[in-house]
Every structure is written in structure tokens, then in C-alpha cells.
Amino acid sequence: MKAAQEISKLEPRRNRFDVEQVRKDFPILAQKVHGKPLVYLDNGATSQKPRAVIEVLNHYYAEQNSNIHRGVHHLSERATAAYEAAREKVRRFVNARREQEIVFVRGTTEAINLVAQSYGRTFLKEGDEIIISAMEHHSNIVPWQMLCEQVHARLRVIPMNHDGELVIDEYRQLLNEKTKFVSVAHVSNALGTIVPVKEMVKLAHERGVPVLVDGAQAVPHLKVDVQDIGCDFYAFSGHKMFGPTGVGILYGRSELLDVMPPYQGGGDMISLVTFEKTHYNVLPYKFEAGTPHIAGGIGLGAAIDYLAALHWEQVSSHEDDLLAYATGALSDIEGLRIIGNAKEKAGVISFVFDHLHAHDVGTILDQEGVAVRAGHHCAMPVMQRFGVPATTRASFALYNTREEIDALVKAVGKALKVFG
Amino acid sequence: MSDLDELYQEVILDHNKSPRNFRTIENANRKAEGYNPLCGDQVTVYLKLENGVIKDISFQGSGCAISKASASMMTSELKGKTEAEAHGLFENVHRMLTGESAHDGSEKIGKLAILSGVCKFPARVKCASLAWHTVNSALKDRGEVASTE
């Protein structure tokens, strides 16, 4: 992130990213809320969908709908081809080596639970240690706590400093011969901190410890290359990166996925079933029991196509500009304190007032058409770390504008007025 | 009056700024904790109950203006009431907050009617009802954590 001071509010945009054109691709953004233009700044919770994605979902149900991997008829072949084409798009999107390493799941949460239950219950035992960080979303805490209870392992937590950055020296100290797994977020959903996952993976791998990276908040903002990061697993959700809800991805290195038992049993994950014994299917189908969210998978593929057609450097610099501009503008508000001031940040600003609760801010902002998240962001330990009950979180996406940040600032001013 | 003005009326803002009975009771004989898992609001209600009458009541905790004001008004209203009266009031307030009552004065809720604006903000109903769920659980003396869920 560029420091707020570096960018004057009057400075014209430095890139030629046409945000107004992009906004036209997202039909929902044109609406009014409580009589005011919608200012959607809750992208960390879920992003809006471009017309291209909505149309693909429509087209699937109107023209292609059929079950996959099992029909010999025309529609089933088309649906299967479209679904598998989406898998290949995801593979390219995260630069995995093979399609077999891309497992369709319901979302990040399911991906993490899959690894905790399948890998964790198989390879972890009493006394082993699992390392997570102090900035994790509940979905990267609870599955590991559940595993710890099941196998009597111990959860260790990397602390963070006052700016909301992980203390890497402490992480080094935590890594020891008992460490059997590391699971960390790539980008914090509550603070926006970008975590140095590549460096962290390297440290874990020096001890032969596998690493899962929770990429839910990273994929809409950063160019993710799982081979470059070197992680063993990478989990993310479709709906936070302009795709449909109910579909997500677990990337896993095939060497590990191969030795892991299935997570759920059912159709599609088998090659042969008798009452005596069942033979499991090959990767990735071994982990895809039951009829999946076919339309969702194809929709996610469409979201990837949409992103691929944009110039990533321009998107990135537009988002940097938004973050710097918003950080500067919000910092100017008297009494407002930003929680999370990491040097490397993406798309999120969490803030608090001493005498004004996040819920009240959220309600007043909503009346002004500004959608933000108010609460603990499913990261209660983060709130505890900073000694606040809740924060107001504005989270940005590529379609947000400086004008929308002005609307946010104005609405915050109104909240302050109501509370005198 | 706009929905927002109705929600944040002067009286509510005042209770938020200077909550009444915002303290602990040393010799309380009933106590319950309430928690709103959705947003992290937390409240502890202390009661001194004698022969079925609420002799003293107080609260502590953290939450938004609506939850704090609601708890503050609740303690003012319940002091001196019998358990049965408190329970009746709980029912009436709950109906008002969820928009089930007509707000025509037929139900006896007195000053608490000022909270009726909340029903136009469904996301905030739980903020206003948290303290009431908590006192209800204190009166039942279940020793459990009340939840708005």
C-alpha cells in the first residue's frame, strides 16, 4: 500500500482504468437504496456479479442443465464439458500444475474442513502441533480446534503486532519438531493485511511441514500463483471474486491429495462399489462426492474469464489508489481510529470510534445508501487483540470509485452528527 | 420523523450516553450473561430479588447505542416490579420490537414505547432485545448464557 500522505486528494488518477465502464458490467450497482445511490463497500463479505456471470448461470439452466460425468446424452456431455472447462480456467487462474489438483467445493470453509478432516485425521496424532495466526477468520480456527479435539493435537497461534502484521520471528520460534501443519490467511478479512505467505511456506517446508493458505480475501485483489507461493493447499470462494455463492476451490498438491482419504462418500467419488469394498475414484473426483454446484462452477469460470479480460496491473493500481485515498480521507475524521495499519494491505479499512459503536455507524451509513459491514467479521480473536468489541469495515472492489469513498466519509460525518 | 430519527430519539441517545444502573450489585442473588453471537454485543444483568420483587437491578457490558439504551431503560423500568410483572413486560416489549403489536397503547409498556422505532430496522431488533432475554434468563435462574439466537 502507498502511504496516504503520498497521494494528494487533488491528484488526478494515474492510471487509465475505466471504472465507469467496469461499473456498467455490474447491473446491481445502478440501484438506489433508501433513495440514495447504492455505495457497495461490503466486498469482503461478498462481491457483486458482472452481467457475464449472471448470463452464464441463466444460459446454463436454460440451455445446458444436466447432470455431469454420468450421462451419455447430449446435454450431459455439454454440461460436463462446460464444468471441466471451468476447472481448467481455475487451474490457469492460480497457476496449478494440473487440473487434478483443483477440487470443487462449496467454499473456503469447506475446503479447510476437508483438509483438516482428511489430511489432519490421517496424519496428525496426539501431541502434534498446528500453527495458525492471530488474524484468522473463524473458518481457519474452528476446523483446526475440532481436529485438535479429535486427535489430541495442540493449536499454536502466531501473534501480530499493533499494526496488524504477523510477527514472523515468533512464527520461527513456534515452528518445532512437533509442528505438523500450518494454516494461515493470505489476506486478513478484518484488517486487510497481506501476509508474507511465500516466506512462511519456505520456513515451514524447511521442517517438512505442509501449509494451507486461506486465500478467500486474496483472490479478488492479488495475482495468485500457487507454485510461486509454494503452498501445499490453497482455499478460496467463488463469491468473493465476482462468481456465484456456493462454489469454491481447494487447490492441493497432487502428492498430498493422492495419499489423503475421501472427505465425504457418495456418487462420483467412486470407481467401483460392492458391499464388500469400494474403490475410490481418481483425483480430483475422489473429493467431489455428490452432484456438485454445476452452474456455480461454470459461473466461477465466467468470473475468471471476466477478470482475465481486464488488465491486472490497472486493476491493482486502481485498488491501491482507492485504499490510499480512503485511508487519507477517513484518517482526517476526528476521533476515527483505523484498526490495521500494515505496510502491505489490500482493499479493507476497519475503523472504530471511542464513543460510537460500529452497529450504529452501520445503520446510519445504510440510510445514506452506503453498505458496510459492522461487527466482529467472524474474527473475534482479532477484535480481542485490539480491545474493541466490533469495527466498521469498508472493503473495496475493482468497481468502487473515489466518489463512493467521498459518500462514505460524508455518511460517517452524519453518524457523528446524530451522536453529537 | 424519518425512520432514523425515530430510531435514535433524544431519550435513547441520552440513555446511551449516561446509562442508568450501569454498575454491578455486590450482593446480587441473580445474575445472567447475554451474548449476541451475530455482532459480539455482550451484557451482564445483576438482580437483587426479595420475595418475588426486584429490589435492585443493574447491568454491565458493551454494545451499540440501541442495546445499551434498551438495557438502561429496562433496568429503570423493572426496579420494584414483581417477577410476574417483569415477565409480562418482557412479552410485551418483545412483541413491540418484532412489530407484532399495534403500538396503540393497548399494551402496557410505558416509556419503553420509545424503542418501537427499532422494528423498522430488522437487523437491530436483536440489539434491543438482548438485555431483555438476559433478564429473563436471570429471573429463571438457569445460570446459563442468554443468546439472541
Domain boundaries in chain B? 3-143
Given pLDDT bands bounded at 50, 70 and 90, which one contains residue A343? very high
Tell me, what's the pLDDT at A5?
A: 46
What mean pLDDT, rounded, does chain A reach?
Answer: 95
* pLDDT, tens only, A173-211: 999 999 999 999 999 999 999 999 999 999 999 999 999
Secondary structure element (H or E) that encloses residue A320, with its range: helix A312-331
Give pLDDT tens digits for A142-173: 999 999 999 999 999 999 999 999 999 999 99
The ipTM (two decimal places) reads 0.87
The CATH code belonging to domain B3-143 is: 3.90.1010.10
Q: Which of A73-77, A348-352, B141-145 has the lowest mean pLDDT?
A: B141-145
What is the reported pLDDT for B98?
Answer: 86
Q: Which of A13-17, A28-32, A244-248, B73-77 has the lowest mean pLDDT?
A: A13-17
C-alpha of A57 from chain center: 22
Q: Is the pTM of this model over 0.90?
A: yes
Q: Mutating which of B3, B64, B67, B118 best tests the A interface, going by the most A Cβ atoms within 10 A?
A: B64
Amino acid at the residue A163: D
Assess contact for A171 and A158: CB atoms under 8 A.
Answer: yes
Nearest CA in chain B to A361: B64
- Mark yes or no for CB contact B124/A389 under 8 Å: no
Q: Per-domain residue ranges for chain A?
A: 4-30+311-418, 54-308
Which one is the CATH code of A54-308: 1.20.1530.20, 3.40.50.450, 3.40.50.300, 3.40.640.10? Answer: 3.40.640.10
Nearest to A362 by CA among B68, B10, B127: B127
Residues of chain B with pLDDT under 50: none
Q: Give the residue among A386, A380, A378 at the shortest CA–CA distance from A340.
A: A386
φ/ψ of residue A109, rounded to 5: -55, -45
Among B13, B41, B121, the residue with its CB nearest the CB of A363 is B121
How far A282 CA lies from chain B's nearest CA (Å)? Answer: 41
**pLDDT higher at A420 or A118:** A118
Which residues in chain A touch residue B4, judged by CB atoms under 8 angstroms apart?
363-364, 367, 418
Chain A residues with beta carbon closer than 8 angstroms to that of B8: 360, 418-419
Can A378 be counted among the known catalytic residues? yes
- At A353-375, the pLDDT tens digits run 998 999 999 999 999 999 999 99
Across the interface, of B3, B40, B64, the residue whose CB is closest to A360 is B64
Q: Which residue has the cell 477440487?
A: A103
Task: Find the catalytic residue in A346, A378, A394, A408.
Answer: A378
Across the interface, do B40 and A419 touch by the CB < 8 Å criterion? no
Structural class in CATH, domain A4-30+311-418: alpha beta
pLDDT tier at A213, thresholds 50, 70, 90: very high
How many angstroms separate the CA atoms of A264 and A242, rounded?
28
